[in-house]
Chain A
Amino acid sequence: MARLIVSTQQSGPIPLNAEFSCLPGELLALVGPSGSGKTTLLRAVAGLYRPQQGRVECAGQTWFDSRGKRSLSPQQRRVGMVFQDYALFPHLTALENIALALRHLPSARRRPQAEQWLETVRLKGLEHRYPSELSGGQRQRVALARALAREPQVLLLDEPFSAVDQVTRRRLQRELARLRQQISIPIVLVTHDLEEAAALADQVCVLHNGRSLQQASPDTLFRTPASPNVARLLDRHNVFEGQVVEVGGARRLRWGNDQLDVASGLDGLNINEHVAWYLPPSDIVLHRRGRPSLGDRENPIAATVDELVVLGGMTSVALRVQHGDLLRFDIATHAARRNQLTPGAAVHVSLLAGGIHLMPGHGVNSAR
């Protein structure tokens, strides 16, 4: 199996207790705030950093094993790495930069192969430019071609889109998505951009203080974060605390003065237990004024508009419910106008029972 499996344990100087895995052809995004250990983990895969304890396996080979005292050098590991600032060799042309990573080929084949790679990343014609004569986006593509030229067993991308403007970033992201179809090795992308991770990755691993908190598909992660802290790191609002109660023989979740229907998860909990819960903003349904709409009867809640922030076509809405918690969601700006949403206005919303995600065992402010 050509998958990448990484686990590290280390208490200092950089705490690192992380585990993740990535299948061939899959793109795994390591996300987390600055200092969460994303880049260090990537360097550990490349052999540029040696954690105190742990194991790195790739393509069925053990690259690092602290118990077996095995640690392959970066040269032995066959990794393709794109550095954050690309780390192109300034004294070599684009073509020479790529040819340098082709030393596993006989020298006569290096040049045509390097030209081939330049064509793959759509830089034909720029063979003899030096890095200083290339734009940021072009440099990134040379760096990507150089990383792939090695015929690596894993591709590592360290914030590869952070040094270019937004238009270029979008274009490069599209190119990466296109290029992925031709690569059947694990790809690990370090990013702090959640939108980028959601758009590009098949799997996302959330890191905090060197600890991996959850690995899942972006959709699963954004709908069912493992803990309030994961939700917070993913910039999800709507994390609250409720209490399990029994009403007329059925379990409900008490939230302030309301008792909410929950589609699943309540049965495994004890009566009166306090539990943290999360609701994706897409599962908050605003009731139309004077007209009943779909899902009206599901967990209806009365609230007042606390804040409206118009961001172009979308409006970010914060509603204050009776007991003081804030519900946040986005709606189209024209829908906000049509519903006459203004600060202080009284509104009704439904919290869809299927979206309520319980996170037992975690306080709302827990650090895990």
Chain B
Amino acid sequence: MDWSALFVSFRLAALTCAFLLPLGIFLGRWLASARFRGKGLCEALVALPLVLPPTVLGFYLLQSFGREAPVGQLWMSLTGGGLNFTFSGILLASLVANLPFAVQPIQRAFENIPHNLREAAWCSGLSPWQTLLRIELPLVWPGILSATALTFAHTLGEFGVILMVGGAIDGETRTLAIAIYDRVQAFDEQGAALMAALLLLVSFTTLGVVYGLAGRRRWGRG
């Protein structure tokens, strides 16, 4: 068992969720309510990582994280370090790759709130901010839960993008998924099997718990 890979994987998944959820709530609500020209384009951009081959996404991220590229330069001026082959780099890549998993369930949940509930809240004297906190967020809770589960599980399993951007540096960018690949390459099938089983168990448990919670009867009969 590669304990440092396990730690990198969980750290990456937890941080990805922590950064993406606020963004997912903001973007999801905005996309659910805004009406503007080019909205379809925005939605397509958010969904793109779903259909793009991970190596393609990874290749572009690798390019843009380079010291010559604007993103790489900006990061360099802010932190003094590079992005490629660092934990920060794979975290940033993971944020991009998981954007649709975080945004889409939350957007759907916001879309399902009847507009007149917001209006009823305003007529009851609640400000837009109070309406978000007291009415909308409790109602989109299942969507937020799904987004968390999907993002967490997907980050644990991400392979192509991480390998392209981060390589496989022990304790820094080698995640469990990459460690499994390395074990297989080294003909250590037993080591690979153990880690694969662990990943399977964790992913399944995460999804099971979340769907179980989301599917539970809420708010009485209906």
Contacts and interface: CB of A to CB of B under 8 A. Distances in A.
Nearest to B138: A91
B123 A81 contact: yes
A255 interface: no
B222 A89 contact: no
Nearest to A79: B123
Interface string A68-100: 000001110001110101011111000000001
A90 B126 contact: no
Interface in A88-116: 88-91, 100-101, 103-104
B35 to A, nearest CB: 14
Interface string B113-142: 010110111111111000000110011000
Among B125, B126, B139, B220, the most chain A Cβ lie within 10 Å of the Cβ of B125
Nearest to B118: A87
Given A87-B114, A129-B220, A130-B219, A103 B126 contact: yes
Contacts of B219: 90-91, 130-132
Interface in A234-252: none
Given A90-B219, A91-B139, A91-B219, A75 B125 contact: yes
A133 interface: yes
A100 B126 CA distance: 8
Contacts of B218: 91
Interface in B96-126: 114, 116-117, 119-126
Contact of A74 (B123, B134, B135, B220): B123
B119 A130 contact: no
Interface residues of A, number: 28
A55 interface: no
Interface residues of B, number: 21
Contact of B122 (A48, A80, A129): A48
A81 B220 contact: no
B220 A133 contact: yes
Contact of A81 (B117, B120, B126, B221): B120
Given A81-B120, A83-B119, A87-B120, A130 B126 contact: no
Contacts, number: 73
Nearest to B131: A75
A132 B220 CA distance: 6
Given A89-B135, A133-B221, A150 B119 contact: no
Nearest to A152: B123
Contacts of B124: 100-101, 103, 146, 150
A75 B127 contact: yes
A87 B122 CA distance: 12
Nearest to A88: B120
A47 B122 CA distance: 10
Contacts of B220: 129-133
Contacts of A100: 121, 124, 126, 134
A87 B139 CA distance: 13
Contacts of B134: 100
A118 interface: no
B139 A90 contact: yes
Interface in A307-346: none
Contacts of A46: 119, 123
B116 A83 contact: yes
Contacts of A130: 219-222
A133 B219 CA distance: 9
A146 B121 CA distance: 10
Given A130-B219, A132-B220, A89 B123 contact: no
A150 B114 CA distance: 22
21 contacts: A46-B119, A48-B119, A73-B122, A74-B119, A83-B120, A85-B114, A85-B116, A87-B119, A89-B135, A91-B138, A91-B139, A91-B218, A91-B219, A101-B124, A101-B125, A103-B125, A131-B222, A132-B222, A133-B220, A133-B221, A147-B123
Given A74-B122, A85-B116, A132-B222, 11 more contacts: A46-B123, A75-B122, A83-B116, A100-B121, A103-B124, A104-B125, A132-B220, A133-B220, A133-B221, A146-B120, A150-B123
The 10 residue pairs across chains A and B that have the minimum distance between CB atoms: A132-B222, A130-B220, A87-B120, A101-B124, A74-B122, A133-B220, A87-B116, A81-B123, A132-B220, A130-B219
